[in-house]
Amino acid sequence: MLDFSILTNNMDSYIEGFKITIYASLIALLCSFLLGTLIAVMRIAPFKPLNWLGTAYVEFIRNIPVLVIVFFTYLAGNFGGMTAGTIGLTVYTAAFIAEAIRAGIMSVPKGQMEAARSSGLSYGQAMRLIILPQAIKIVIPPLGNQFINLVKNSSLLAVVAGGDLMYQGDLINAKTFSPFDTYIIVGLFYLILTIPLSFGVGFLEKRLARSN
């Protein structure tokens, strides 16, 4: 059976890692939401070079491993592990969020933009006040999924000494020499975060499917 003395003896480290995992995931979610929105708007803006730039970003980033990005920000930039990891996660996740937001914007009927423009709003105003608020409903479930991925991917902070849950697990393992129990407890901590999120996203998806 699981040896819970590993948990009780190392509670502080686990909690410390758990906090950093949540913290890094939340910051990366917020930043990649902002960056992703910007890129999504670039991809549909009525100006070709911006479209190309947005598309290039999404296609390039989506097709390379997140670990390559995390290592790169860590080694090429002058950051600590946690900052580098969070930047890397942001850069990666923004590409996926941009796609989700673009799909949301495209789902708003074209007439909405035309109506907004002909009532005197500028393109930016129409986007911000008319299109984005309607798109957000469709975007929320995929955003939730990206957040779950972020929590899981934040474990990559461990390879750049980011101090997260996975990293603490490695340290505890190095101390206790019982990897089996140590990593199972690490897994349980991740599940505390991801299982409720998964249920929440599933619930939102069902509700959205019904309202359509």
Where on the chain is the footprint of another protein (CB under 8 A)?
Answer: 59-60, 62-68, 71-72, 75-76, 148, 151-156, 158-159, 166, 169-170, 173, 178-180, 182-184, 186-187, 190-191, 194-195, 198
CB nearer to another protein: give 15 or 75. 75
Q: What is the dihedral of CA 37, 86, 147, 38, to 10 degrees?
A: 0
- Residue 75 · residue 102 · CB < 8 Å: no
CB nearer to another protein: give 146 or 173. 173
Q: Smallest distance from the beta carbon of 183 to another protein, in angstroms?
A: 5
Q: Smallest distance from the beta carbon of 49 to another protein, in angstroms?
A: 21
Q: Smallest distance from the beta carbon of 150 to another protein, in angstroms?
A: 11
What CA–CA distance (Å, rounded) separates 44 from 20?
A: 36
Q: Is 48 exposed, middle or buried (0-12, 13-18, 19+ CB in 10 A)?
A: exposed
Place of tokens 């708007």: 41
What CA–CA distance (Å, rounded) separates 177 from 110?
A: 61
Q: Smallest distance from the beta carbon of 116 to another protein, in angstroms?
A: 30
Spatial CB neighbours of 104, under 8 Å, sequence gap ≥ 6: 135, 136, 137, 138, 139
Q: Smallest distance from the beta carbon of 121 to another protein, in angstroms?
A: 34
Spatial CB neighbours of 78, under 8 Å, sequence gap ≥ 6: none
Q: Smallest distance from the beta carbon of 62 to another protein, in angstroms?
A: 8
CB nearer to another protein: give 3 or 134. 3
Handedness of CA 199, 187, 33, 52 (dihedral sign): negative
